[in-house]
Structure 1
Amino acid sequence: MPDQDQGARVALKLDIVVIGAGQAGLSSAYHLKQLGLEAGRDFLVLDGAPQPGGAWQYRWPSLTLSTVNRVHDLPGMSFADISGDDDSVRASVAVPHYFGAYEERFGLNVLRPATVGVVCERSERLRVETDRGLFSARGVINATGTWEKPFIPEYPGRESFSGRQLHTQEFRQAEDFAGQHVLIVGGGISAIQLLDQISQVTRTTWVTRTPPRFREGPFDQEAGRAAVAMVETRVRAGLPPNSVVSVTGLPVTPTIEAMRQRGVLERQDMFQSITPTGVRWADGRELAVDVILWCTGFRSALDHLAPLQLREESGGIVMTGRLATQVARDPRVHLVGYGPSASTIGANRAGAAAARELTAFLGLAGQ
């Protein structure tokens, strides 16, 4: 078993390396153990974060258990048993606590912090280069998510803006913007959450590329399956996955209704360019703002897999397998938390599928 003290370097020859210890990575590791593989000997989980919790540990403090969409249980252990019933607890505290307890209960032996620089071909095996040493694996389950790769679209004049620009990833609290005019860009759930908070302490303007699509009524299982199927169709065809909101729409909650009453959901079309003091639309209209908050989402953090040449000319990756976790160009590689599995419940199912399919492909099932 590798030495997991911070700064220690290790070198191991393994069957499988799991990269990332968020929901998808931990689910994958759990199912690898259920299939008879031993953590630290047959497979190893590498995590770039300093402690358990995946991307949850970096979420803004005002995101509590009452405001998150939902935290789904990891396989074999209930979140409620660890978190209790206090919805006012910060998600950045409760979820890492749960993940840490999960790792300990199932003996997943995560090596952290371990930053993966590159995964490349080495004879018939895969070479995983990290700041904690070199690892040789027959297969890789990649579960790096998106948090490390925030996306900000290019607009003319963006570098000339004299105010402050930041991405959702950098947001901490609404009070930081008191007395300033904040332009919030984006039509996703995070944009709505931050628009709600910031509009209660200062002036806001909301712009989106397309009109937001609000969803009335419950999001039942049938609707969920249809949404997942749409994303799955794209990744099986090698197209980049769409955002979740583009498929599911925005649920109309009491918070949304309250925002409508306050008039903060009166969105404007996307501007054409950015000026030193604000933004300009195609018709020449300008708006002066102090802050541009880009709630424009994330991209899959897959740069370390570039040497494997998994991408198509479309920019996407052709996915196969029962739940579209297996890379068609290299069946030794599975992507979990990508495409249709980019949700907490989807990540659980994808972790199970990836573990079963990869062990079967490598001839490890039932060992």
Structure 2
Amino acid sequence: MFVSTRSVRAVIWLLLGSIFLFDIWTHPENVSACFAYAIPIFVSLFELQPRPFLYAATATALSIAGSFALPSSELPLTAVLANRFIAIATQWVVAVLVKVQYRRQVDMQQQAEYQRRFVAILSHEIGTALTTITGQAYRLAKLSERISPSDLKARADKIRGAAERIEGIVGRVQFASSLGDGTIPVERQRIDVTVLLTKLLEQLKEDQRGGPIELHASSEPQVVEGDEMLLRQLFENVVLNSVKYSGSFNAPISIDIATHAGMVRVAIADRGGGIAPDELPRVREPYYRGKNSKGTSGAGLGLYFVERIVEAHSGRLLIETDFGKGTRVIIDLPQSRDA
């Protein structure tokens, strides 16, 4: 646990000054003071952002100055300086060790944070698929006495599809763990974005998780090369986010699919409360939830996960908002070369 950086720096400079006073009160050949400068350099580890090289440079200057403060009558100047240069080299070795240790601590903290976020994202996406399973199971139980064989088969297929999504996520996590880099591999296949979104909206309507949604797309296929499971999760996150934050306004969500500069552009717009200008730069950060999220569930991972998927597909994510009038999320994905 780090203490106040200001307090630590005050202690370090006090130690440097005290050691220098001790140095000039003793004979120059007594280099114990020069080695003592390693103490404040070690203390810099307790700073939030250690500055060991600054303290080592200061210690070096004070060590050299101390050799001339009180001339020695026993050793030649060259011998005094040689002993002090050995002590100075020790100071810089200590500074390097402090810097290396600090980098190790930062790397460990970043790795721990990355793993925490990864688990949170994984839980978020599995939870989304489980919602489909529980919703369909509830409908089956409610309609058990009057459900037709065809409807039963359709709902069973949806449950199986959601279960397969969970299985796919877990499988990729296991594969990523075997690679050791914590990334989820992306499978590449030709996907018609219009067809994908049409199926998604039908599923959301069936699960009663989507409000009024208007889909506008040309009759031509809008084909990209990507991972169908990840892209479905991407669009599901954005659509449900739009529904969540515009539900109280009773306004439909608009989805437009078109070709734009060699990309397939999907623009999802709502007419909700929008995002405050000061919050817009932060909405992509993990775990960040804006002021308009009060009263709504969520972990603040939706857009963070969306952006990671877009980046994995070499795409681009844009967010346009008019505070008080709505938000427009634009997703550009490279169009398939064979389209």
**TM bin (shorter chain):** under 0.3
Structure 1 length-normalised TM: 0.21
More strand by share: 1
Q: Which of the pair has the greater relative contact order for Cα pairs under 8 Å at 6+ separation?
A: 1
More helix by share: 2
User: Which of structures 1 and 2 has the bigger CA Rg?
Assistant: 2
Q: TM-score, normalised by structure 2?
A: 0.22
